[in-house]
Structure formats: C-alpha cells, structure tokens
Amino acid sequence: MNIERLKGSILAWGVLDTAAAQYVQGLKKTVIVPEMRPSCAGMFRNIPLLTRQKVACAYCTDNMLGILFYQGRIEETLLVYSREDARGITAPSGSSYVSVLSRAHGVKIRLHKGDVLDYNAVFKDRDARTLCGRTFYADADAVTARDEEIRWDELEPYEKIK
C-alpha cells in the first residue's frame, strides 16, 4: 500500500477487544495496526479481529509510527490498556512510544480499558532476542518487555470510549 493512501487514519495500540473493534468500525476510517513487538499482538490479535469486523487495516512495524505522525496521517490514537488507578494507566510495552508521539503531534488519545492479558501464556516472544519464536541470540542481553505505567497528565487530552 502506498503511504499516500493513509489520510485521517486511526492508530490502534494495545490488545483490542470486541468493544474497541466496534468503536473503530464505527469511525469508518482505515486503522493503522502496528506490529506491537515483542509479542506481535498487533499482527496476531488485532489484525484478525479487525478483519473479521470488516475494518480496513494497514499494518506497519512500530518504528514506522514516527513518519506517520510527522506526515499528519494519524487523526486519533486508540490506546487499549489493562489497568488504571489514581495515578494513571498500565498498558502494554511500547505504549509510551505511542502516547508521547501522539501528544507531540497534537493527536487526541482515546482510551479503552481492555482485558488483562498474560502475555507469557499467549505469545511466543518475550523480548527482542526472538521473533515469532525464532532466536537471534540466546545469550545476548535484552531489555525486558513489560507493561508501562503512564500518568493521566501524560495522556492529556484524552477521552475514554463510552
């Protein structure tokens, strides 16, 4: 797909559930679905779910989000998180990447509380040393992927899906 086709798109980050999928379906826009390393939840969970809901999707790797924001191709970010408290939310590894870029480009964040997922039970990869179960370096050091805590003020301005 030529990148020029992406205009006014919705970025979906986190493990989408049916409610989130129905929300983006209602927007009738192309949904950008990043890979979501290391789990690749974007590829293995979000794409199939959105495809079943007949939502137009465009896959990208996580590092392509910068240029998509830079070129103004993202109208709204949907961020699905697993827990919240008075300080903020707990969301999958990489959520800070998405929230900081969204705020830096004046893109509104739409929040949705989804399911709590045991990544270790569901996905093959735990960090960057492997991809789809293929090992690049068994004995290298790697930064452990873990949920990230993002303060409410770091998400402003945001709204929650009703």
* Interface ranges with another protein (CB under 8 A): 1-3, 6, 33-38, 43, 47, 51, 57-68, 70, 93-94, 96-98, 100-101, 104, 127-129, 131-132, 134, 136-137, 140-143, 145, 148
Choice between 106 and 162, CB closer to another protein = 106
Q: How far is the CB of 53 from another protein (least distance, A)?
A: 13
- What is the rounded CA–CA span in Å between residue 12 and residue 20? 9
28: left (phi over 0), alpha (psi -120 to 50) or beta: left
Q: How far is the CB of 104 from another protein (least distance, A)?
A: 5
Choice between 37 and 162, CB closer to another protein = 37
- What is the rounded CA–CA span in Å between residue 35 and residue 28? 21
Choice between 26 and 133, CB closer to another protein = 133
Choice between 1 and 86, CB closer to another protein = 1
Q: How far is the CB of 43 from another protein (least distance, A)?
A: 7
Identify which of 84, 104, 105 has the alpha carbon closest to the alpha carbon of residue 14.
84
Q: Which two tokens stand for residue 82?
A: 């697993």
Q: How far is the CB of 162 from another protein (least distance, A)?
A: 28
CA dihedral of 113, 129, 66, 68, whole degrees rounded to 10: -80
- What is the rounded CA–CA span in Å between residue 66 and residue 98? 9
Q: How far is the CB of 17 from another protein (least distance, A)?
A: 19
What 8-state DSSP symbol labels residue 147? -
Choice between 5 and 160, CB closer to another protein = 5
| 88 within 8 A of 155, measured Cβ to Cβ | yes
